[in-house]
Every structure is written in C-alpha cells, then in structure tokens.
Structure 1
C-alpha cells in the first residue's frame, strides 16, 4: 500500500493514479468550519486526493462531501512506549528541570526555580498564532495574581518563521509588562534540537513535572499535546474546538472552555484546579485511563485497517 500524508503529498496522488487501488491519503489537519478559504483549499487539492482509494480523516466533520467515497475516520493516538511518553516521577522531573544543566532549553524570562508547594501549569505548543501562546502568558500572569501558589510555564520549539517569531515577541512583551513579583512566577522557554532524543527527554521532564496543562488554542486538528498530557495523568483545561472534545468530557477527565471565552474564564478554571488537589488527581487519573483505552497508536492503526477493510469489501460488492 502507498501511504501519502497531508497537503504536500496531494499532487503525488494524481501522478500515482494508476496505483489508486492501493493508495491511502491521510489528512493530519482539519477543521469543521466551512468558509471561502476552506472551500477553495478543497477545490485545489480535492481532485488529486480523490485519486486515492482510501482517505483518512480524524473526524467526519473534517471531510468535504466531495471526498466521501472511500473515506474512513480514525483519531490519532500516542505510543506510551516511546522515550517521550514513558512515565517519569513528578518529583524527579522537577529536580531535573532545576538542575544546572537541564538540556536544550533557553528560558527567555527569569531562570526557572520551583519551590516546595508550587502548583505548576504548562502550555507547550508551537509558536503558532492558532495556539494562542500569548493568551496563555496572559492567563498565567492573571492566575498568579489570584493564586500565589501557581507558577506557569509557556514552552515551545525554536521559532523559525516570521509568524512564529512574532508570537514569541508578543509573549515576551506580555511578560515584560507585568509587575516583577508576578512575572517572576511565569516562565517562557524555547526548546532547541527538535526531533532529537535530548529534545524528547526534556519534553518528558517538563510534562511530567507540572500539575495542570493548558491548551488555549483558537483552532486544532486533534490536539496531540492534549493527549500526551492526559497520558501523564494531568488535568487539562482546553478549548472546546477541533478534536479536543473527542478526548475531554467536561469535568469528567478534564475541563473544556468554549471558544471565544475571555481570559477571566480560563483563569477561573485554573484557579479552581490550583486550589483543589483532589480534583486534579481525579481528573488526571480518568484522563490517563481514557487515553490508554481509546487514543493509543494501536487504536489509530486498528481504526484505519478496519476502515480499509470495509472499503475493500464495498468495492468488491459494488
């Protein structure tokens, strides 16, 4: 079988048309919204993608009607056995993060120091405008004002594009504009060497060390950073967009915030979890159990294989 992934490979689907019966095209991005831009996108790549016998989307809402034939739906999953996703004791992770040589990360704010009793919050994403990293900085700064035990980390990879650099600059500006006693408890970090084992080990340490995770995205495909946090039994406060509601049930295994909600709503939800260790433990335990039951890479591959098999049977009986 020939497997093609995402927009960049769409032209290949047309070129490989004579092998269409054994071709699978997998969309790793998507939106349920319909707009002129989205319609134009599918108008451009749709005819090429249609050459593939099987099209994989994360959700039915992400699929344009023109590609309904041969489409299957499979949410992505994490591999709990990888270096990045293996378990790490939170206390050990905190010690590693504050060691003199912590790994390939640069703190743009004041150096990271974690005190006993600190409740750590994290948003870790690309410096993509759609991830609202600057919004995460604002929310963390406001949370510090209301919950003195809170300490926030906003972390992402090296900002490569102009738009990513602009977002990182916005984050720094928001941080610098806060009073010194507030900004001393919010830290902005940039991780280098993306894709290396050293990078993955550092991400593992950061995700393991925190108590609650924020995902203040404006738009998401599925949200694997949410899945990774849930796998580590961390309660997640996230936007109810894209594939995130497929993973989080409000107040069951995490907290959902409606799109467009003001920062104050996010702060209120964070403060509630900062003050309630029992709720953090309850939501986190359920989150981990749900990921292991429904959102591993085995679940994803099983859904894809089952979909391919159903499509093959339909073709034979047509």
Structure 2
C-alpha cells in the first residue's frame, strides 16, 4: 500500500472501519488529510482492543461516527464528527418496485402471496439475532397460522468461515420448518440479482424486523422504512436513531415483545399503514443520500482548505 500511494497524487484519504486502519500510517505526505469513518457501535468497546488500536486511530485528523456516544473518550471533540448514514433511493435495492412484481419474484421460491409475510434482511451473525427472530415468528404463528418468515442475508465473502458456520446453525435450528425461508447463498436466488431480491422481500413484506442485539446503524431499517413498512427493531445503537417507538416503528427488548407487535400490526391494517407512512417521511427528512453527501463534503472541504 505504501508503494501504491507513493505513486499516486493523493489529496485525501478516507479509511472505513478498523480492518484497513493501517492505511492512515502509510508513507503519505504530512499534507494529506486523513479521515477515519467508523460504522461500528463503539458505545461499549472491548477496552483492550480499543487501547491497542489507539495509536493507529490518533494519526487521523478527523474521525466520523454514526452516533455521538460512539466517539472514544480520549478523542478530542474538535477531531470527531457525527454523520448518520443514509440510503440511495435510486439504487436497485431501493427504487420503487410494484408489489405485484415483488410477488412474482418471491413466488419462484414457494413463498405464498396469499399469506402474511414478515422478514429480516441482514448478515447472519449472533448480533443480528436471527434465532430471536425465529422465536418471534413461532410465537406469533400461534395466532396467525399461515404466517411466513424470510431471513435473507447473502454471504458475499466466501472466506468468512464464522458466518458460514452461523448460517449452518440457523438452518439446523429451522430444520425445514414450513413457512420459514432462509436465503444465504447467491445460488439460492436462481439468477435474480441480490439487490432486486432484497427489494422484492422488503416490498412484499407486511412487517419487517431488524431485531439486532447490537447495531452500529442498520441501514436495512431505513431501507424498509423508505418502502413504507412498519419496522420492529432491537432497542439498541443506531436503530434508535431511526425508529421513535410507537411513532414511526417499534423498539423491542426480547422476542416476546416482537411477537406481540407482529400480531398487533398484522391484525390492524390502518395502524400498519399509518406507521409505514410516518416511517417513509422520517427517511425522506433524515436518511437520504443528498444529506449524507453534503455533510461529508463539508468535512473534506474543511480539511483540504485548512
């Protein structure tokens, strides 16, 4: 990386998250501003790890986080900036998809358009709590017998054995249960592009969950809200920036609370519609790409002209 950057006319370096953190320590001119963009929840970090990373973090002129309480305590206030993430409403994942088209896609996988559908779209790991989502579904299904659940999180990194093992654990927990669909491999999509598939899942769903136990932000929440969906989210991290409980969605602390809300929302079309409309308006006001780009450009301009 040193050699690569040495041969480039670099004006600004933006590093995302800890994995490529050492880029900030590369042999760059001192005149080149460095920005670290942290997407993860650092409200209660592992202190040994954060202390180990501290000298590598301190070389950056600016640190951008999604929530103010993610800023490490030792970072000076003038070096830290809070910028909430945003979605691109014109991307294949978020552009308007007629519901009839969404169901044409889902019908290919045996998902029934005549039955209520809930879903969670996220990578498969313990912090996203897919097991808790399954428990919520099973409990809600005692009241709504034809309820269906989609868990969708296509693994894009083939060299991630931890995620592969967790998917295996989830599938064993499901054990071919009727009405429950797990999508983790691009081959499962049978030629449908991942973003188009996710758009179809979110568009067709009656209620969407993001029952995370820890979440830096959770853009899947804003994606679902943009589609006027009632979202049930974990009462944690960045989800709380997007959902105001009972106004534009719901926050829960356990699978029992989630199950009660699933039943309540599926049995009350007017409530579901009202929450969905409030949700979309929230995203329109706060979580679309133009605002995000402008806030980042202001930081770039400040550093390049300081």
TM-score between the two structures when normalised by the length of structure 1: 0.83
Compute the displacement of 1:206 (Å). 1.4
* Equivalent position to 1:277, from 251, 269, 277: 269
Q: Which runs of 5+ in 2 are unaligned?
A: 1-11
Q: Tell me what 2:43 maps to.
A: 32
* Equivalent position to 1:189, from 180, 183, 186: 183
Where does structure 1 differ by over 4 angstroms across 4 or more consecutive aligned residues? 307-313
- For the residue of structure 2 that corresponds to 1:236, the secondary structure is strand
Compute the displacement of 1:268 (Å). 0.7
Give, in whole Å, the separation in 1 of the partners of 2:169 and 2:102.
Answer: 29
- For the residue of structure 2 that corresponds to 1:66, the secondary structure is coil
Q: Tell me what 1:61 maps to.
A: 69
Give, in whole Å, the separation in 1 of the partners of 2:22 and 2:218.
Answer: 26
Q: Tell me what 2:97 maps to.
A: 88
Q: Tell me what 1:44 maps to.
A: 52
Q: Tell me what 1:97 maps to.
A: 106
Cα deviations by residue, 1:173-195 (Å, 9 ceiling, x for unpaired):
33238xxxxx322222224179x
CA contact (8 A) 2:154 2:194 kept: no
* 2:211 is equivalent to residue 216 of structure 1: yes
- For the residue of structure 2 that corresponds to 1:65, the secondary structure is coil
Q: Tell me what 1:105 maps to.
A: none
Give, in whole Å, the separation in 1 of the partners of 2:230 and 2:197.
Answer: 20
CA contact (8 A) 2:41 2:214 kept: no
Deviates more, 1:156-165 or 1:283-292: 156-165
CA contact (8 A) 1:73 1:303 kept: no
* 2:249 is equivalent to residue 232 of structure 1: no
* 2:15 is equivalent to residue 4 of structure 1: yes
Decide whether aligned partners of structure 1 residues 308 and 59 sit closer, same or farther in structure 2, where only a CA change above 3 A counts.
farther
Q: How many residues align?
A: 290
- For the residue of structure 2 that corresponds to 1:293, the secondary structure is helix
Pairing of 1:148-297 with structure 2 (within 5 A): 148-158=145-155, 160=158, 161-176=160-175, 183-192=177-186, 198-258=193-253, 261=254, 263-297=255-289
- For the residue of structure 2 that corresponds to 1:72, the secondary structure is strand
Give, in whole Å, the separation in 2 of the partners of 1:185 and 1:298.
Answer: 39
Compute the displacement of 1:92 (Å). 2.0
Cα deviations by residue, 1:39-86 (Å, 9 ceiling, x for unpaired):
222212222222121111111111102223411110100010111210
Cα root mean square deviation, aligned = 2.4
Decide whether aligned partners of structure 1 residues 148 and 244 sit closer, same or farther in structure 2, where only a CA change above 3 A counts.
same
CA contact (8 A) 1:144 1:185 kept: no
CA contact (8 A) 1:5 1:28 kept: yes
Compute the displacement of 1:308 (Å). 5.2
Q: Tell me what 2:4 maps to.
A: none
